Structure 1
Amino acid sequence: MRLLTLCLSLCLSVPALAADKVTFLTSWYAQAEHGGFYQAVATGIYKKHGLDVTIRMGGPQVNGVQILSSGQADFLMGYDLQVLKSVETGVPITTVAASFQSELQGMMTHDDVKSLADLKSRTVLVSTSGRTTWWPWLKNKYQLDDAQSRVYTFNLQPFFADPRSAQQAYASSEVFAANKGGVKTRFFLFADDGYPPYGTTVVTMQKTVKEKPDLVARFVKASMEGWKSYLQNPAPGNALIKKDNPNMQDDQLAWGVEKLKEYRMISSGDAATLGIGTMSDARWQKTRDFMVSTGLLKADVDWKKAYTTQFVKDLRVLP
């Protein structure tokens, strides 16, 4: 009895291991496209994996790579072209998982456009960042010309006013706004026409991968479990999204979740059999090759430093 009492006393006196504090920086204001990460906080999935995660919102004036590389965040919501360019310039970051099997970027047109090939006769609204990402790919694929492009300022009024215009868009945001405004549109996801990058990736420092592989593995697994949970019941994650971004309304969140499911962003391609978050060498090479062919990346860049599959190859968080 004394031995049992002593054992219980010792067990109670040993403090529980503190969860590892992690800061995750998103790419924009909180929205459905970030839902899996918020879900993992809201439902305790991160906590289950020994993580105390703080989600920090990005925005138009936020330099995510700079914040990550300066140690102010542990993980960054990134995209493939950004990471490849960073590797080219000597910034040692790397991608450890891909939430979406394709990039959300696409083209919103008026409803008389039948395919992206019809853009030859249209004015195309392109943002500054778009000119160094998807626009060179689209221009080469459909023989478009810079002369037909105009600057997209994230204001939909020029598109509404000109029936011969088309503009960059996400199905979950600009298309939603056009729909609410009563404007009939069509949306063409670039990935359906072969645009190769992954979307909503998880990026960290190469040093973190080397020195804290267990932390990275736990964050990746918990995040992908968060995405699976979010698709099943997004309510907990949405509550936190609205707390961080009070401008986000229920109808837009519902629309966003619907589009994630409609386009199978999380569960398509290799993710259907290998699990949410998976990546492949072949896909990364396609992105590298497109960037080199359009002059966005030097051919001699060690592009394989831009990603590692070690944390997703055996993950098997099946959708």
Structure 2
Amino acid sequence: MNIKESNLTRVRIKLKWFPNANVAGIFVAKAKGFFAEEGIDAEIIDGAPGTNVDQLVACGSADFGVSSLGSVMYHEKRGLPIVSIAQIFQSSTQGIASLKSSGIDTIPELIGKTMGTLGGVNELQLFAFLNKFCLSHKVELVLQESIKELLTKEIDVGSVAIYNQLQPPFKEGLRPEDLNILLFSQVGVGMLEDTIIATKQLVHCKPTLSAGVVAAILRGWRYAFAHPHEAIDIVMRFMPKGRSTREHQQRMLRSVQGFIMPQGFSPYDMGQFQFPTVMHTASVLFEQGLVESPIQLGQVISPYIVNLALSNCNLWI
């Protein structure tokens, strides 16, 4: 569809990490004109280790962002006027890993070790884990950019996402049995991750615009899963040269599909808030002392926006 740029509303969407296939739906929505069909000119702004999307959206540096739901709950409790408008990932993907050769085989053996954190909105699950096992002041945390810091032994323990950091070492010959991997979901502190956020004021004043952004992103994800080869072509165009390989991004896209569209999900379920897992995320924050009082879900999620997006006829073209 040929739409004049002068007729489009410009929005800035902040990512929490470098361009990767874990946000392929956003890049596809941009490249295929899905944002434009919603009357939106979307500027996609890269993230990096330590990026605090919540603060950047709250202060107006971006209009929308990709955050983690646990982080949104945490920061809203501390006064940031942000709200989640669509839940993209439906389960936790994160954990920690150490080399078997390091001799770190149990949780108590983490004491005194150097541990990598991905920083920003990615680190709340790690903090919940450390609190649960009374390790918060017994490990040294350093900002980690990739799994390389673990493989080169710059850190003793690395933070990992199943779909990303664990893939390169296995491709290079490291076997799963060479690593000790503990997922946060295995010890009850896994929290929901990738979620679309905006300020409460923007959502209140511009619900149609907010729903249009969500509709375009969900349409982008549907297209990416139906046309994975083309989706990776698009992701690679947005990625700095040499940042990653096509093969890595292909594996990542296949992996994240299971978190975005888990078994039993219909296309209408994509982006919806599943209340058992939303409630679990809120409970982990409170039970592990990361917030002082229970989360009020009505203050941090807006199912109305994603439902409005799902009623959009363009989404089902």
1:125 to 115, 125, 133: 115
Kept in 2: contact 1:120–1:144 (CA 8 A): no
Kept in 1: contact 2:128–2:189 (CA 8 A): yes
Shift of 1:244: 3.2
2:60 maps to 1:64: no
Moved more, 212-221 or 117-126: 117-126
Listed as ranges, the gaps of 5+ residues in structure 1 are 1-14
Q: Paired residue for 2:13? A: 24
Q: Paired residue for 1:292? A: 286
The residue type paired with residue 221 of structure 2 is: W
Over residues 245-283 of structure 1, what are the superposed CA-to-partner deviations in whole Å (9 max), with x where a residue is unaligned? 22232122112113224xx11111674474210103443
Over residues 173-196 of structure 1, what are the superposed CA-to-partner deviations in whole Å (9 max), with x where a residue is unaligned? 321221243222355543465445
Q: Paired residue for 1:3? A: none
1:253 to 249, 263, 278: 249
* Aligned pairs (5 A) from 1:264-283: 264-268=258-262, 271-272=265-266, 274-283=268-277
In structure 2, the CA distance between the partners of 1:49 and 1:236, relative to structure 1 (3 Å rule), is: farther
Please give the secondary structure, in 2, of the residue aligned with 1:47.
helix
Kept in 2: contact 1:160–1:183 (CA 8 A): no
* Aligned pairs (5 A) from 1:34-45: 34-45=23-34
1:151 to 123, 137, 141: 141
2:38 to 42, 49, 52: 49
* Aligned pairs (5 A) from 1:84-163: 84-110=73-99, 118-121=106-109, 125-127=115-117, 129=119, 133-139=124-130, 143=133, 145-146=135-136, 149-154=139-144, 156=147, 159-160=150-151
The residue type paired with residue 244 of structure 2 is: M
Q: State how far apart, in whole Å, the 2-side matches of 1:216 and 1:160 are.
A: 42
The residue type paired with residue 137 of structure 1 is: A
Shift of 1:132: 5.7
- Aligned-pair identity in percent equals 19
In structure 2, the CA distance between the partners of 1:150 and 1:22, relative to structure 1 (3 Å rule), is: same
**TM-score, normalisation: structure 1:** 0.79
Over residues 131-186 of structure 1, what are the superposed CA-to-partner deviations in whole Å (9 max), with x where a residue is unaligned? 96123433466x46457644354264663367xx5432122332122124322235
- Which one has the largest radius of gyration? 1
Moved more, 149-158 or 42-51: 149-158
**TM-score, normalisation: structure 2:** 0.79
The residue type paired with residue 251 of structure 1 is: E
2:221 maps to 1:231: no
Q: State how far apart, in whole Å, the 2-side matches of 1:117 and 1:96 are.
A: 40
The residue type paired with residue 48 of structure 2 is: G
Please give the secondary structure, in 2, of the residue aligned with 1:21.
strand
Over residues 41-89 of structure 1, what are the superposed CA-to-partner deviations in whole Å (9 max), with x where a residue is unaligned? 1122222222221111112364423332232321011111221122122
Shift of 1:234: 3.1
Q: State how far apart, in whole Å, the 2-side matches of 1:90 and 1:270 are.
A: 37
How many residues are treated as equivalent by the alignment?
A: 298
The residue type paired with residue 200 of structure 1 is: D
Listed as ranges, the gaps of 5+ residues in structure 2 are none
Q: State how far apart, in whole Å, the 2-side matches of 1:230 and 1:61 are.
A: 27
